[in-house]
Structure 1
Amino acid sequence: MAVRRVMPIIRSEAVPESRAFYGLLGFEEVMNHGWIMTLAAPSTPAAQISVMTGDKSAPVSPDMSIEVDDVDAAYAVMRESGAEIVHPLQDEEWGVRRFFVRDPSGRVVNVLSHR
């Protein structure tokens, strides 16, 4: 299993203001589903920040995302370790397969792969 990117998620109702603020640092909008917007640095597309009002299909909102090449393997490793799974492994309508796990500091991590 390899990590493809790591992205912080900022919970906020100030999505347009966040777009403008991070735009001052060179970020551009690359995805917007209404409830989550992702900004990326054009010179380094894997350098990303997401701004989320609330997760569409999960009971909690994650603090960060980690994209891996094999989410099923990541899920198996986390389950075997005894880590707390806070949102089960599932396919989402927007093209990702993901689960949420709580890290030792209490942060919720969205672990995903694109289908």
Structure 2
Amino acid sequence: MSDKPASAAVIPLRFVESVDTMREFYLQQLGFDHLMGMVGKDGQLDFAIVQRAGAMLMLSRPQDAAGTLTGHMELFIEVDDVDAYHEQLSKTGLAIVQPPQTQWWGDRNFSVVDPAGHTLWFWKTVAEMQPPPGVTMI
């Protein structure tokens, strides 16, 4: 068995009130690219996919009759250079919730909150894991 985890793609689907608003946030504020979208009968986007550096995110309006949105979500998106991306976003005036820091598990990360209130973490593994005293890893 290899110590290196297998590579796999996970593409989250998020239900949001306004796909248009969320799509614009990802494109304009975070530098994502538009992959595709579907316009609903009312002229607003029903669905869209945005992507950045291999990360993809699907955005959709609620599909049930009640228009129910699901609970809070945090997304972790790997980037090539955490500090460079943080600097790029900071120059746009975007509020950074958690500034860049290197975690004990070896990831350097920072976070922002999107218009729907979900936390987006941008990360890159930069060091070996060094659990704090008293932490048991299995």
TM-score with structure 2 setting the length: 0.40
> Relative CO higher for 1 or 2, CA cutoff 8 Å, sep ≥ 6?
1
TM-score with structure 1 setting the length: 0.47
